[in-house]
Structure 1
Amino acid sequence: MKLYLASQSPRRKQLLTDLGVAFEVLSIEVDESTKALESAEDYVARLGEAKARAGLDILAGRGESDVLTLGSDTTVVADQDILGKPRDYDDFADMMERLSGRSHRVFTSVAVASHESVEVKVVESRVVFAELEPEAVRAYWDSGEPQDKAGGYSVQGLGAVFIKRIEGSYSAIVGLPLRETAQLLTKRGLAVWSGALGRV
């Protein structure tokens, strides 16, 4: 069965490559707006599944049926508020003020779908930021890294210097929870780099 990653994210492509599975990439479009009273966990689960299903729709149009698609979404939550990608510097600076010196949660979903069924897992992690100086916040924005990142920072990039501690799955914070992804793929009969992962 052929696997497709329903994402153009270079981080997710690298993480899935690290699992040692063969896959191709699909470019998909989904509405990422939140719904009223929707929790962060429900939000990322819905988007992960929506991306996987959008991939299936593209493949169905090509006449491909014996396929699996993988969709994923990550969001940062502070004070119950979902922090998306910063609109501009002021929005970014407000995010950094909310994260500075505090812990926040990161939710990441992974969905694996076929034309018969879809299964979704959501992973919650916690990140603790150091106190941030205004000069560091401005310099980080000027680096160009925060502009397309949920919550305004990249855990595997320059933003790592702001982080005091991580509790949970590092790979999930980057963009794809590898343990849960391995579980879902081996359940569907795809071999990852070690057959032992099918038993985790």
Structure 2
Amino acid sequence: MKATPTAIPEVLVIEPKVFGDARGFFFESFNGKAFDEAVGRHVEFVQDNHSRSAQGVLRGLHYQIQQPQGKLVRCVRGAVFDVAVDIRRSSPTFGQWVGEELSEDNHKQLWVPAGFAHGFLVLTETAEFLYKTTDYYAPAHERCIQWNDADLSIGWPDIGAPPQLSAKDAAGAALTRAELFE
């Protein structure tokens, strides 16, 4: 496993070693010991999630203000543009974002620690997205920041049409009015 820090050092791109031949491929998608070494501490995951979305669907920018979740995310079918936004007011990278294309072909994963908002845009006809979380889903504590907040200026890929949003995501708060982490 190769772990590469992004422009926000706590957010890591994880690349497994893939063994492939004419029959297909094999890789270890998660190894607790190797992952803990990569992030520099023990991380315990408590929940696995799986979503399927059509092209142009944008999910996010989500986070839980209580029971914050670290997420290890990957795309197993299709491709997505995945984004993590630092929403910790005391952080030197507060308000900054990083994005990475995750796909069934590149096998990359993104480690998004607690204290970050997370979202993704589906780039292919469909995408299936898997992620592990460090805390349980708590709908009462879920929050959403506008995907197109001018203060964030996220460089979402141009897909030729406006993204498809859920009602909850369309009603996301502006960063300046959102409940954030200290």
TM range (shorter): under 0.3
TM-score (norm 1): 0.26
More helix by share: 1
**TM-score, structure 2 length as denominator?**
0.27
> In proportion to residue count, which structure has more strand?
2
Using CA pairs below 8 Å that are at least 6 residues apart, which structure has the higher relative contact order?
2
